[in-house]
Amino acid sequence: MAKEKTPSPGADSSAGQDIPGTASTPTAKAETDAKPVPKEKPPAPEDKPFAEFIQQDLLPSLTTALREKGLEDIRFSFDQRPLPVFGIADTDPYWQIQGVCKQGSREFAIVFTKDTINGPKLFYHCDHGSQPSTIEQFMGDERKATLDLMVLFLSKRLNGQKWLARN
């Protein structure tokens, strides 16, 4: 009579058989082949139409950020108007975010030369009711403007004017 071989404890008894949970089973192959569906990102606030983004996202963010930095009485308006800079005869209206603080004694504005946040932007300010006499480029080196960058740049600009803190 022939003796039956019994597998030794260290021997692989599964040779030639599929083990559940390994890549060779059909269900495991289907699980590894199926790629997880990426979640759709909500659209960025900057993707909204220009005026909607300014009114719904940028102005509230600017108000909050500047109040946290000590400008409690900050008020913003957003409309089209000509540049009120001394010596400029340009009467074309531009979209402007105008900020007023310190009981109206300080004013500043971000001017959008095109109806987009990624176009050229200008900045001017005045103190104690005077007419602005200097206009500057605002965020000129940035290729893409975002909500956070615009808040940061305005905060830095006003801090440089020493309107937020004494340096």
pLDDT above 60 (res 80): yes
- Strands 94-101, 136-138: pairing kind: unpaired
Question: What confidence score (pLDDT) does residue 27 get?
Answer: 58
Per-residue pLDDT tens over the stretch 116-140: 999 999 999 988 877 777 888 999 8
In 3D space, the residue among 123, 122, 150 whose CA is nearest the CA of residue 57 turns out to be: 150
Helix segments in 128-167, DSSP class H: 147-160
Per-residue pLDDT tens over the stretch 31-61: 556 677 778 877 777 888 999 999 999 999 9
Handedness of CA 155, 157, 159, 163 (dihedral sign): negative
Question: What confidence score (pLDDT) does residue 10 get?
Answer: 53
Do 94 and 50 meet the contact criterion of CB atoms below 8 Å apart? no
Percentage of the chain surpassing pLDDT 70?
77
- What is the arithmetic mean of pLDDT over 89-101? 88
Collapsing DSSP states into helix, strand and coil, what is residue 22? coil
Question: What confidence score (pLDDT) does residue 153 get?
Answer: 93
Q: Which DSSP string do the residues of 92-113 spell out, in sequence order?
A: --EEEEEEEETTTTEEEEEEES
Q: Rounded to whole angstroms, what are the CA distances from 31 to 19, 20, 54?
A: 15, 13, 46
Q: Rounded to whole angstroms, what are the CA distances from 19 to 7, 24, 33, 35, 50?
A: 18, 8, 18, 23, 59
> Other CB atoms closer than 10 Å to residue 103's CB: what's the count?
7
- What is the arithmetic mean of pLDDT over 106-119? 91
